[in-house]
Structures are given as C-alpha cells and as structure tokens.
Amino acid sequence: MNHPDTPSESETLTHLFRSLGNLYAPGERLVYVNRDIDFNHIKVVGFDLDYTLARYRQAELEQLTLEVVFEKLYRAGFPQDFELDHGESAFAMRGLVVDRQEGNILKLDRHGYVGRGYHGLQALEQRVITRTYREQRVGVEKKRFSPVDTLFSLPEVNLFAKAVEHFDAQREAWEANGFSEYAQVWDTIRSCTDASHQDDSIKDAIRADPGRFIVLDPDLPEMLHRLRSLGKKIFLLTNSEPEYASVLLEYLFQETGRGYTGWESFFDWMIVAARKPGFFTEGRPFVEVATGKETTRPKRNVVYSGGNQSDLQTALRVHPDQILFVGDHIYDDVVKSKKNFGWRTALVVEELEADVMTRRNWSIMIEEVEALRGFRQKLSREVARMKFGLNAMDRSRQEDGLHLDGRVIANEEYNAGRSVLLAEVARKRRELKQLDRRVQQLASTVAQAFNPYWGSLFWEAHDTSRFAQQAETFACAYTSRASNLLFIAPEETLFAGAGKLAHSWRLP
C-alpha cells in the first residue's frame, strides 16, 4: 500500500507527461488562426529576422533613432528649437495612416473610414473628421497618405506629430528654411530616418551593444530545435545585411546546446539582404556571402544575399502550401509571399500580448459596453418603428379616416391616443440619449486602457480596425512572438473561427 504522501505510479507518470509535453500557453502567447492550418502538413518554416526572431526593446530603439535622426533633421533645415519631449514619444502606434497634405494622423476602421485622428498632438473633433474625409476612403490617394505598417516607423510618426504643432506655431521660421507644406516636413523626416538606417548610424550602435536593444528570448532556440526534430526544414529570409544579421543572430543563439555549433546550424537555408518585397516579384540571383559567387540554385547550409522566391521555392522541393513563412511586415512578408506563390503566412504582432492582457483585465466593462450597444440597437429600432407607425396613421386618417372594429375613430379619441404614443416615443428618445452617453463614456474608458490616444490596435469604435482587417485578410495566422510556435503540437490542426455574415448571427 502506498503511503498517503507518496505519489502513485499514475500520478508520477502524469507529472512526467506534463513536465515533458506541456504545451499550455496563456492567451497572450497563443497562435490565432484566420485560416485552418494542419501543422503536420507544413514541411518548411521560414522566418524573418527584425521584429520576428529578433524582438527589439522598443523604447531603447526609439530613443536611439531620435538621437541619430535629430542631427540630420537640423542639417535639413528643421528649426534648432524643435525637440521631442519624452512623453510625446509614446504617441504613435502601428496601423495608423499619415495624411501628408493636412498634417493629420489617422486611425481607420476595416472599411477605410476615419474613426479618430490627430492634427499634430491635438485630437480632431468628429465634425472636422467628417468634413475632411467624408467623401473618400482614406488611403486611395497613395501619394497623399502614408501607412504606418512597422514598429520601425513609430519614431517618424512621433516626430511628425510634434513637427506639425511646431510648424503651426512658428510657420514663418519653417518657411524661412524652405518648408511651406506639411508634406515637405513628413518627407524630410522619412528621408532622414531612411538615411540613418542606410548609413548604419543606428545599426552601429546596436551592433556595439545588442543586449541593450534586443530581447533575449529563451524559447527561441528551443522552438527551432523542436521544429527541426519534427523533420521540418527551416530557412531565414531577412532584409538585414550580412554583418548586422550575424551580430543579432549570434546574440539570440548564444546559448545553443543540443549539439548546435552556432546560429547557422539552426537553419537549412539562409538568405540575408533579400530586399523584400522585391524578393517575391523579381528574379535576382543568389550571391554566396563568403565567396561572392552567383547562383540560381541555393544550397543548404550556405549563407546567401539577394535571391528570389521562385528559385528558393524550387530549392525547398515542397508545395507552396507546405511552407509557413513567419514575419512582422504585413506587405513585405505576408501579402507578397502569400499572393505570389501561395505560401502559408503567420504575422508577428508584438502588441498582441498587451492587447490580450488588457482585454482580459477589462473584460467586465467590455462585456457591459457590448450589452449596452445591443440594447441601444433594440431601443433605436423600437423608436424608428413607432415613429413610422404614427406617420402611417396620420396619412391614413387624412386620406379616408381611421377605422377600428368597423367604426371611424373620433378626433378626440385619435388625438388622445396619439399623444400617448408621442410621449412614449419622447421617453424612449431620452433613454436613447442617456444610453449613448453611457456607452460613449464606458467605451472611452476602455479605449484609453489599451492606448490613451488610439485605443486598441485591433479595434476602432465597435468595428475592427484597418490593421486588423489586413491581418485577417492576408495572414493565415497571427501571434505575438515567433517563439510561440513552441506551443503547437506536431500533428495539431489549428482551426479558424467560422466567418459569419451579419445575418448568420441570428436565427430567423
């Protein structure tokens, strides 16, 4: 007989099973699916580097970017008293759109209409948004609007917001330096930021101290090892130059173990300086980094630069739908790889972790907002139908009198009944106004819990945002970290929720 404190064989086995095979992940680490993925069917998994395998410390990177870019902005003619306060560097988020013409920064819903916006750092009133953007779906004029699709772009938006305020306050000073339009200000910020990346001003600082800027994810080597142990082939596909990519990867895989001799041993194919999205549409040769030799047949265990998707596809020797490519850029990584060859795609959305946790912490108020909106919809419908019925009664009475049970309703009786109905409509309208104020108050409180300026990355008002719509349309899956693939079982099928049209939510 076992001692009461001694675990049984079955309990011991259960504990061992859980310790060795535990794939539990909290909501913020799950892989969310828009299209079913049979993971057993996936034979090859590819990864981008920046903001995918390598997660940056955003605050540190933004501070570095601002320090480097400010020098170039002053040389380009920005006023010397132009600067960015610390709190203002938290303004921007991914998924926004910059209106170069008006100096506005906008957040759109899934249909491309403006939900909220700022002129500089000042919130736009709804009447201004309606007057300025009611005639169009924002983004159609590509020269006027610039999408903010990557975390690398956030410092540019912060700078532009502050520059718009400075421009409005000191227009003469800006015009004296050659800036007469908001578009010139935005274009200068963009060009100076691009120059800072291209001349290695930013990368040199990161190379010198990667630990200051890169998050060391202990799950990353284990995730790649598990994929390889399951027989899946792994490739790296990044726009980063060879030396920079090598520094980041050496830092990320400094603790290898399990027989791995360095970061290269985790990958079967390695392509750097890929120049996405051109990699997916053009036919550049692969160039062996060590020798400079060109080829159209990339070999395993060799680091290449350049190249193209077609030749890589041939080298992988699997069908397109057996390849899962993981990246953070909605266009460069996800749209192009999926549209051109039909690769399966997973979008890394770092902000998802905070979004899920905020949604969990504020779930009670979120549910209350949704319930009140449902009640508001019902009450609004009742008011509209009562008003319609009153109008129909008035028209019928004017045409041939109003009859009930074979008799004509007298004026006094009709007016008394009509007054009661009008009073009920007025009461319901007052209730609607009170309900609107309550919903607006609660929704505003919830939105500020996600982001004090913009609300949730994935939602705008009571609809999904432009960013969420793009992720849903083009990414087969999305998750907060590349290493979250660690929590997928080898033969697991990831099922997407059933897409439903508005009418299918209700039974007839």
pLDDT category at 335 given cuts 50, 70, 90 is confident
Cβ pair 369, 442 in contact under 8 A: yes
CB atoms within 10 A of CB 467: 26
HSE-up of 353 (CA within 13 Å, CB side)?
8
Q: pLDDT digit string (tens) for 371-416?
A: 999 999 999 999 999 889 888 777 777 766 666 666 667 777 778 8
Reading across the β-sheet that carries 122-123, which strands appear in turn?
A: 122-123, 114-119, 104-108, 97-99, 145-147
Residue 3 has pLDDT above 60, yes or no: no
In the chain, % of residues over pLDDT 90: 73
In the chain, % of residues over pLDDT 70: 89
CA dihedral 389, 394, 396, 400 (to 10 degrees): 160
pTM: 0.88
Residue 18 has pLDDT above 70, yes or no: no
Mean pLDDT value across the chain: 89
- Mean pLDDT, residues 102-126 taken together: 94
Q: pLDDT digit string (tens) for 186-212?
A: 999 999 999 999 999 999 999 999 999
Strands (E), 296-395: 303-306, 323-327, 344-348
SS (HEC) of 410-459:
CHHHHHHHHHHHHHHHHHHHHHHHHHHHHHHHHHHHHHHHHCCCCCCCCE
